[in-house]
């Protein structure tokens, strides 16, 4: 059935095999006549080039150059020029070229076989005779050694076969042509002899395993059986599903009808398959929740990090997250310790998780101190920006205002440790009390550091507001305004590049 699938490639190879090329003569060049129905004029001696024009049958062209099997020709009437293949023209005389005494050639008799089946038959030249006419008036005579150029038999219709003849010793070629008829494959009917598997489970791929399709013909030839392997490897077969399904693609649940065509869409056969919904057969825990201890009895435990592993009857496996599941538990019924159950269900299957319930208790006191911890002797200590937090064993942190501070002596200079107490927990921080603020020492700890420069910079953009002696300490250039220049001076003093007083 397949015949010559590569007829087009063979035709191209045959053309490129042509070795005789016409030689250019002086003056206007060698005159040729276009013998093909039409000939493409190319921008380069290459059959893959896009044509720049077409030359109709019967046009005279003049060859001025040769490149392999191509002639560079000019059409005097129009001035159009380009490359043309030698098989499409024939020497037309009226120049000094060596013709070997031949004037022209013609087809005396066509081959016995002139009717072919599309993509099945190979060209048969038996019976073809080619005759030459001579310049000296002698009788026409049969010639041999010509080359035949056969087009692809890949579509129905009339096809032109070209014959090119180069006389011995000549430097020009002559051509002639004849037509043959190509008909469609006489396919009459396709019948499913053995159907492929008819039952599937959702998401399984369609298979043609075991399928046999029989083709019958209208020309009396014997029927032919095609196996699944032949169907899949033959591009002339086309399989289409009712929803665009094809071989190897997962099937959705339901009834599916497939149409199998061979070459022509009007010659086809059909078969159907039934696809059942997949069923979950196993559900396992892949990863446990990030936290398996709970500290309250008012809400469902946090299942972040939980992943389930589902297995289906069609062989598929997938991971399932809690947002796709149903959760069942009674937090109010949790008891201290392990053994508190949470049931996670998906697709009719479920897994049970064990949680520990524990009382939430404080574990730590954290203190966030104000940025300014330096104060002037005798002035009130401002701890407005002090924040105290209680941290619990559950990881929760809560700010508290139920705390006490140890006594602060505002009339004593130096560092003082302040103790923050809340219940059974405590934390400490240090403040500094001095007689006056040294220029640049905004913290009042007796040193000028990069931290002082940072505080001055924050004050320059309004994040901190200083007044009184603090303003005096931050105003390093003594111009009455805190700016980025003050922060720069303080930073230089911190690294020993500046002295402030």
Q: What is the percentage of the chain residues whose pLDDT exceeds 90? A: 51
The pLDDT, as a whole number, for residue 18 is: 33
Kindly give the interhelix angle for 450-460 and 484-494, rounded to the nearest 10 degrees. Answer: 180
Q: Which residue in this structure is represented by tokens 């019924």?
A: 333
pTM value is: 0.49
C-alpha span between 269 and 239 (Å, rounded): 10
pLDDT tens-digit readout, 27-72: 357 888 888 888 899 999 988 889 988 888 888 888 888 887 788 9
CB of 236 closer than 8 Å to CB of 261 = no
State the DSSP H helix or E strand holding residue 418, giving kind and residue range, or none if neither.
Answer: strand 414-422
Cross-strand bridge partners of residue 191: 214
Cross-strand bridge partners of residue 72: 65, 83
CB of 31 closer than 8 Å to CB of 175 = no
The pLDDT, as a whole number, for residue 371 is: 78
CB of 489 closer than 8 Å to CB of 476 = yes
Give just the sign of the alpha carbon dihedral 137, 138, 139, 141.
negative
pLDDT tens-digit readout, 430-439: 988 877 677 8
pLDDT tens-digit readout, 452-484: 899 999 989 888 887 777 787 888 888 888 999
Nearest in space to 412 (alpha carbons), one of 431, 429, 397? 431
Nearest in space to 170 (alpha carbons), one of 28, 14, 19? 19
| Averaged pLDDT, 71-77 | 83
C-alpha span between 438 and 475 (Å, rounded): 11
C-alpha span between 290 and 92 (Å, rounded): 92
Q: What is the percentage of the chain residues whose pLDDT exceeds 70? A: 93
The pLDDT, as a whole number, for residue 64 is: 82
pLDDT tens-digit readout, 363-376: 999 999 987 787 87
Give just the sign of the alpha carbon dihedral 243, 244, 248, 249.
negative
The pLDDT, as a whole number, for residue 57 is: 83
Which of 89-103, 105-119, 221-235 bottoms out in mean pLDDT, i.e. has the lowest?
89-103
Nearest in space to 90 (alpha carbons), one of 45, 133, 152, 43? 133
C-alpha span between 15 and 88 (Å, rounded): 10
User: Domains of the chain, with CATH numbers?
Assistant: 7-183 (2.60.40.3630), 187-276 (2.60.40), 280-357 (2.60.40.3630), 362-433 (2.60.40.3630), 436-501 (1.10.1330.10)
Residue 471, SS3? helix
Give just the sign of the alpha carbon dihedral 212, 213, 214, 217.
negative
Question: Is pLDDT at 8 greater than 70 in this prediction?
Answer: no
| Bigger pLDDT: 173 vs 146 | 146
The pLDDT, as a whole number, for residue 28 is: 58
CB of 331 closer than 8 Å to CB of 300 = yes
| Bigger pLDDT: 141 vs 447 | 141
| Bigger pLDDT: 309 vs 25 | 309
Residue 451, judged by CB atoms within 10 A of its CB (0-12, 13-18, 19+), counts as: middle
C-alpha span between 179 and 141 (Å, rounded): 22
The pLDDT, as a whole number, for residue 95 is: 67
- If pLDDT is split at 50, 70 and 90, which confidence band does 356 have? very high
State the DSSP H helix or E strand holding residue 271, giving kind and residue range, or none if neither.
Answer: strand 264-276
C-alpha span between 312 and 251 (Å, rounded): 15
Buried b (16+ CB within 10 A) or exposed e, 220-234: eeeeeebebebbeee
CB of 267 closer than 8 Å to CB of 187 = yes
CB of 294 closer than 8 Å to CB of 333 = no
Alpha helices (H) along 46-175: none
| Bigger pLDDT: 495 vs 446 | 495
Which of 90-104, 274-288, 332-346, 386-400 bottoms out in mean pLDDT, i.e. has the lowest?
90-104
Question: Is pLDDT at 492 greater than 80 in this prediction?
Answer: yes
CB of 49 closer than 8 Å to CB of 58 = no
Q: Which residue in this structure is represented by tokens 């023209």?
A: 89
State the DSSP H helix or E strand holding residue 41, giving kind and residue range, or none if neither.
Answer: strand 38-41
The pLDDT, as a whole number, for residue 172 is: 82
Q: How far apart are the first and last CA of the chain?
A: 106
- If pLDDT is split at 50, 70 and 90, which confidence band does 133 have? very high
| Averaged pLDDT, 242-251 | 81
The pLDDT, as a whole number, for residue 184 is: 87
| Overall residue count recorded for the chain in this entry | 501
């Amino acid at each position: 059935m397949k015949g010559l699938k590569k007829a087009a490639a063979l035709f191209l190879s045959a053309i490129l095999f042509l070795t005789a090329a016409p030689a250019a003569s002086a003056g206007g060049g060698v005159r040729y006549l276009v013998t093909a129905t039409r000939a493409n004029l190319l921008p380069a001696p290459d059959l893959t080039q896009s044509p720049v024009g077409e030359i109709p049958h019967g046009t005279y062209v003049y060859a001025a150059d040769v490149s392999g099997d191509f002639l560079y020709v000019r059409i005097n009437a129009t001035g159009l020029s380009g490359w043309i293949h030698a098989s499409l023209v024939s020497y037309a005389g009226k120049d000094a070229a060596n013709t070997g005494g031949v004037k022209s050639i013609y087809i005396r008799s066509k081959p016995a076989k002139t009717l072919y089946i599309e993509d099945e038959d190979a060209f048969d030249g038996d019976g073809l005779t080619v005759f030459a006419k001579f310049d000296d008036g002698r009788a026409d005579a049969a010639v041999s050694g010509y080359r035949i150029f056969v087009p692809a038999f890949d579509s129905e219709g009339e096809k032109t076969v070209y014959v090119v003849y180069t006389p011995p010793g000549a430097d020009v070629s002559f051509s002639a042509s004849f037509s043959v008829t190509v008909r469609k494959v006489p396919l009459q009917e396709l019948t499913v002899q053995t159907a492929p598997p008819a039952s599937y489970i959702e998401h399984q791929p369609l298979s043609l395993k075991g399928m046999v399709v029989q083709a019958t013909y209208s020309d009396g030839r014997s029927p032919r059986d095609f196996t699944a392997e032949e169907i899949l490897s033959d591009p002339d077969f086309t399989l289409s599903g009712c929803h665009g399904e094809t071989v190897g693609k997962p099937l959705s649940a339901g009834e599916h009808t497939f149409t199998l065509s061979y070459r022509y869409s009007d010659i086809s056969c059909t078969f159907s398959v039934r696809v059942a919904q997949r069923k979950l057969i196993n559900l396992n825990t892949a990863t446990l929740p990030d936290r398996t201890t709970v500290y309250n009895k008012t809400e469902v435990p946090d299942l972040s990090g939980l992943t389930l592993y589902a297995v289906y009857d069609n062989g598929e496996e997938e991971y399932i997250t809690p947002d796709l599941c149903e959760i069942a538990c009674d937090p109010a019924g949790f008891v201290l310790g392990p053994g508190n159950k949470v049931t996670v269900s998906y697709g009719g299957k479920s897994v049970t998780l064990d949680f520990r319930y524990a009382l939430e208790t404080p574990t730590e006191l954290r203190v966030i101190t104000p940025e300014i911890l330096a104060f002037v002797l005798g002035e009130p200590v401002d701890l407005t920006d002090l924040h105290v937090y209680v941290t619990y064993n559950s990881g929760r942190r809560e700010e508290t205002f139920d705390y006490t501070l140890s006594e602060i002596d505002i009339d004593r200079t130096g560092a003082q440790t302040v103790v923050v107490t809340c219940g059974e927990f405590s934390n400490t921080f240090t403040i500094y009390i001095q007689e006056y603020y040294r220029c640049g020492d905004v913290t009042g700890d007796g040193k000028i550091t990069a931290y002082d420069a940072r505080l001055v910079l924050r004050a320059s953009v309004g994040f901190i507001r200083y007044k009184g002696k603090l303003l005096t300490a931050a105003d390093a250039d003594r111009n009455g305004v805190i700016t980025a220049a003050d922060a720069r001076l303080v930073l230089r003093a911190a690294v020993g590049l500046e002295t402030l007083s």
